[in-house]
Amino acid sequence: MNKEELKLSIERTIKVKYGKTLDKALDYEIFNALSLSLLENIVDDWNETTELYAKGKQAYYFSAEYLMGRALGNNLISMGVYDEVRELLEELNININKIEEIEEDAGLGNGGLGRLSACFMDSAATMEIPLIGYGLRYNNGLFNQYVEDGFQVEDGDYWLKYGDPWSIRKESETQVIHFEDMDVKAVPYDMPIIGYGTRNVNTLRLWKAEPLKEFDFKLFNDQKYDEAIRLKNRAEDITRVLYPNDSTEEGKLLRLKQQYLLVSASIKDIIKKHKEKFGTVTKRLGELNAVQLNDTHPTLGIPELIRILVDEEGLTFDESLSIAKCMFSYTNHTILAEALEKWDITLIKELFPRILEVIQEIDKRFIAELKAAGYSGNAIKDYRIIYKKQARMANLAIHVGSAVNGVAKLHTDILKETELKNWYELYPEKFQNKTNGITPRRWLRLCNPELSSLITEVLGNEDWVRDLSLLKNLEKYVNDKSVLNKFMSIKHKKKEQLAEYVKENEGVTIDPDSLFDIQIKRLHEYKRQLLNAFYILDLYYRVKEDSNMDIPKITFLFGAKAFPGYKRAKAIVKFINEIANLVNNDKTINGKIKVVFVQNYRVSYAEKLCPAADISKQISTAGKEASGTGNMKLMLNGAPTFGTLDGANVEIVNESGRENNFIFGLEVEDIEELGKNYNPKDYYEKNPSLKRVVDALVDGTFDDGGSGDFEDLFDSLLEEGDQYYLLADFQSFKETEDKVFEAYKDKEEWAKKCFLNTCNAGIFSSDRTILEYAREIWMVERKSL
């Protein structure tokens, strides 16, 4: 990259876009100008990649979420120009870190589902896989989170307030989407996904809902201003917010509209490009296009494809269903019933009755197939796509999809052996496992440049950034004190950086010399942040009683958002903050324990937390977490896992060794054995330490502001059966944390545990995962410019 040309481009862009000179530009203006100048450098490669991919079979990823994080730093890394650009900005007296920090995280996703999609897009570009992502361009993300008096408070996530220089609006490729009550435009915004170490630039296409007409001129002229823009507002509402509250019928209808807009626009786009190549829709549509449904949200794509092929392209229903069975595959991300979507057919009929007719026809034909195969009425009802006036989206995806995959070995085994056992018996050939992964570009090369440099120094080259399995070659240095010292010195530096960031953003001082025990993930009862909170409170009580208690200084950090309508999750946020208030303000414990709930946890915050972690808390109830990817990010950055044998934790322990991690609690088989005989009161009454911390919910120790939320948490454990086994796992958790404290005393052995986790994280690269999808599900080949 020519630095002088880039400088001139930045200056020119600021002049044209903002009417000022570079020395007068604000940080966000410099960010936009720099981003647009960099975009100009990759557009030719982007267009060539699109043309190259169009010549053969392509894969498409349909996802309601893409939790991309910030674009600038990652794109500089992928383009291989980070250092050059930093030097140029230094010459211009501009701090690159300030410019990176001004960028808002793209509000396009929420949790692991969206972050996985983002990693897959990065890996597909780097591995030169012809994969196009389809999603929605939400004006606002989930929400920005603040803590006031310990309570979570939500505000709009205005991520577009400074503009979006990394997207190109493609007005000419707009699709019109029909709902029974209105028609809207789906306008595509294309985001480049820049491959690392390749010229390939893949595409993430995001649809924005807009009205066909900006406003009704006659109504406006009649001074009925609100009515004049009513249809505009209703159209834009569809992509206004990620996952709008669906506690009412109106909310459910809006969610359905979101899902249909995504799949309808995307299917129409695929067919349009197919017809541009072949003139008409042929059976080759299914042979040349593979669609991956990321969870059940995009499952309406199946009936929408069939509707278009039958009603608009003149194919028979049989031909259309056959194409659908060839094109679609389904990734299951959960065994939780609440996440396997079911939609009341009255809602589907209200918005798109023809789609309901298509689903009913698929169901009818499926029932006939089952009867012909000798299935009886009782067995058939479990397979029904429409049952009790609900459309079961997972059933539709499994029946029509050519492949069904889980996202960790344990998760896939549970699907085959229990949760989807009937489906596995019917379609054993469809079931596969694709253990999740993370991109090493963002989660090591970008967020931990110090450790990246050490790895490159030790291995002698940077090939590991494209082939993470090469980290295994670091193992031979596990007894090299010089390497270990450098490794742990970097860990301490990342802790210092995090401490500085927490002080600036949370107003809380934390000690980099303390043990950083970190639990960061979406807030849900099964992820058991409450169990961690109970342990911290118990530890606090024990330190109060024994000031000489032999434990290292420890800082517990939480990062999590609770969905606005999830009352118990929000109560857990409040409880953690009540504990933090108690512990952090008690001078008698001499600062031995610190508790911090970081506000507005997001990708850019995770990029600071993961490299600084000493312990990775992954404590979901065994059998409930499909995979997890936070566990992989923390492992890659040298944090041993403190967790249950759940999700990908099982594979993490297999790779890095049980002796280098801290496993506790009931396993899946233990929970199955306990079954209905589990009585949480037995644990509560027999363990005084446990009883004390659980009672703290209701004995006046803490104040829930009169909401009754803490009493509800108490009841969930003792009156409703403690469905996530917090009380059963408490003592094991406590004993295992003691093992952490003991292990942490031996600095050399602790360093080895951390180092060996990094050495063995290679298998968890999303590059490996995406190549497995390409080879074993989509049947697409790598193509390089």
Q: pLDDT by residue (tens digit) across 218-245?
A: 888 899 888 888 999 999 999 999 988 8
| Owner of token pair 């297999």 | 654
Residues in Cβ contact with 698 at an 8 Å cutoff, skipping those fewer than 6 apart: 710, 711, 714
Residue pair 639/615 in contact (Cβ under 8 Å)? The answer is yes
- pLDDT at residue 559, rounded to an integer: 98
pLDDT confidence tier of residue 111, bands split at 50, 70 and 90 = confident
| Average pLDDT score over residue span 716-727 | 97
Domain assignment present for 536: yes
Residues in Cβ contact with 719 at an 8 Å cutoff, skipping those fewer than 6 apart: none
Backbone angles phi and psi of 423, in degrees to 5? -70, -40
- pLDDT at residue 247, rounded to an integer: 85
CA–CA gap between residue 286 and residue 57 (Å, rounded): 10
- Identify whether residues 465 and 409 lie together within a single domain: no
- Identify whether residues 211 and 311 lie together within a single domain: yes
Instruction: Return the structure tokens found at 315.
Output: 């194919």
Amino acid letter, residue 159: W
* pLDDT higher than 80, residue 265: yes
Q: How many domains does the chain have?
A: 2
Reported as a single tens digit per residue, the pLDDT across 376-426 is 888 999 999 999 999 999 999 999 999 999 999 999 999 999 999 999 999
Q: E strands of 421-511, at which residues? A: 431-433
- Identify whether residues 473 and 422 lie together within a single domain: no
- Identify whether residues 403 and 470 lie together within a single domain: no
The number of CA neighbours under 13 Å toward the Cβ of 475 is 13
Domain assignment present for 34: no
Q: How far is CA 16 from CA 236, 625, 771, in A?
A: 29, 50, 43
- pLDDT at residue 765, rounded to an integer: 98
Q: How far is CA 722 from CA 621, 642, 678, 719, in A?
A: 11, 22, 9, 8
* pLDDT higher than 90, residue 216: no
The number of CA neighbours under 13 Å toward the Cβ of 687 is 21
| Owner of token pair 């007296």 | 93
CA–CA gap between residue 659 and residue 479 (Å, rounded): 16
- Identify whether residues 400 and 514 lie together within a single domain: no
Q: From the centroid of its chain, how far is CA 312?
A: 36
Reported as a single tens digit per residue, the pLDDT across 525-575 is 999 999 999 999 999 999 999 989 999 999 999 999 999 999 999 999 999
- Identify whether residues 173 and 304 lie together within a single domain: yes
Name the H helices within 279-333.
284-288, 301-307, 317-327
CA–CA gap between residue 346 and residue 328 (Å, rounded): 26
The number of CA neighbours under 13 Å toward the Cβ of 780 is 30
Q: How many residues does the chain have?
A: 785
Amino acid letter, residue 277: K
CA–CA gap between residue 482 and residue 555 (Å, rounded): 27
* pLDDT higher than 90, residue 39: yes
* pLDDT higher than 90, residue 629: yes
- Identify whether residues 410 and 464 lie together within a single domain: no
Residue pair 763/754 in contact (Cβ under 8 Å)? The answer is no
| Owner of token pair 């009417």 | 19
| Owner of token pair 């924005």 | 208
Domain assignment present for 302: yes
Amino acid letter, residue 703: D
Domain assignment present for 17: no
- pLDDT at residue 377, rounded to an integer: 84
Q: Residue 135: name the closest of 330, 295, 265, 285 by CA.
A: 265
Residue pair 159/105 in contact (Cβ under 8 Å)? The answer is yes
pLDDT confidence tier of residue 120, bands split at 50, 70 and 90 = very high
What is the domain range of residue 540? 440-668+727-764
| Average pLDDT score over residue span 273-296 | 95
Write out the H or E segment, with its range, that includes residue 385.
none
Reported as a single tens digit per residue, the pLDDT across 131-172 is 999 999 999 988 999 999 999 999 999 999 999 999 999 999
238: domain CATH number?
3.40.50.2000
Instruction: Return the structure tokens found at 49.
Output: 């990649």
Q: Residue 196: name the closest of 128, 264, 277, 257 by CA.
A: 128
Backbone angles phi and psi of 722, in degrees to 5? 50, 65
Q: From the centroid of its chain, how far is CA 703?
A: 33
pLDDT confidence tier of residue 1, bands split at 50, 70 and 90 = confident
- Identify whether residues 419 and 489 lie together within a single domain: no
Domain assignment present for 179: yes
- pLDDT at residue 245, rounded to an integer: 84
- Identify whether residues 444 and 431 lie together within a single domain: no
More confident residue, 38 or 1: 38
Domain assignment present for 492: yes
Residue pair 39/165 in contact (Cβ under 8 Å)? The answer is yes
Residue 128 region by backbone torsions, left for phi larger than 0, else alpha for psi between -120 and 50, else beta: left
Reported as a single tens digit per residue, the pLDDT across 746-780 is 999 999 999 999 999 999 999 999 999 999 999 99
**Percent of the chain having pLDDT more than 90?**
94
By annotation, the residues acting in catalysis are: 333, 521-522, 527, 629, 633
Residues in Cβ contact with 642 at an 8 Å cutoff, skipping those fewer than 6 apart: 517, 615, 616, 617, 618, 619, 661, 662, 664, 736, 737, 740
| Average pLDDT score over residue span 435-443 | 98
- Identify whether residues 456 and 403 lie together within a single domain: no
Q: Residue 430: name the closest of 411, 405, 454 by CA.
A: 405
- Identify whether residues 333 and 481 lie together within a single domain: no
Instruction: Return the structure tokens found at 272.
Output: 């349009």
- Identify whether residues 354 and 453 lie together within a single domain: no
Residue pair 85/96 in contact (Cβ under 8 Å)? The answer is yes
The number of CA neighbours under 13 Å toward the Cβ of 711 is 6
Q: Residue 130: name the closest of 55, 206, 68 by CA.
A: 55
Residue pair 150/574 in contact (Cβ under 8 Å)? The answer is yes
* pLDDT higher than 90, residue 336: no
Domain assignment present for 601: yes
* pLDDT higher than 80, residue 516: yes
Q: Which long-range contacts (CB under 8 A, 24 or more apart) does 281-284 make?
A: 281/309, 281/313, 281/315, 283/319, 283/322, 283/323
| Owner of token pair 């009755």 | 353
SS3 at position 593: strand
Q: Residue 631: name the closest of 667, 604, 662 by CA.
A: 662
* pLDDT higher than 90, residue 12: yes
Domain assignment present for 608: yes
| Average pLDDT score over residue span 331-352 | 90
Reported as a single tens digit per residue, the pLDDT across 161-209 is 999 999 999 999 999 999 999 999 999 999 999 999 999 999 999 999 9
pLDDT, the chain, mean: 96
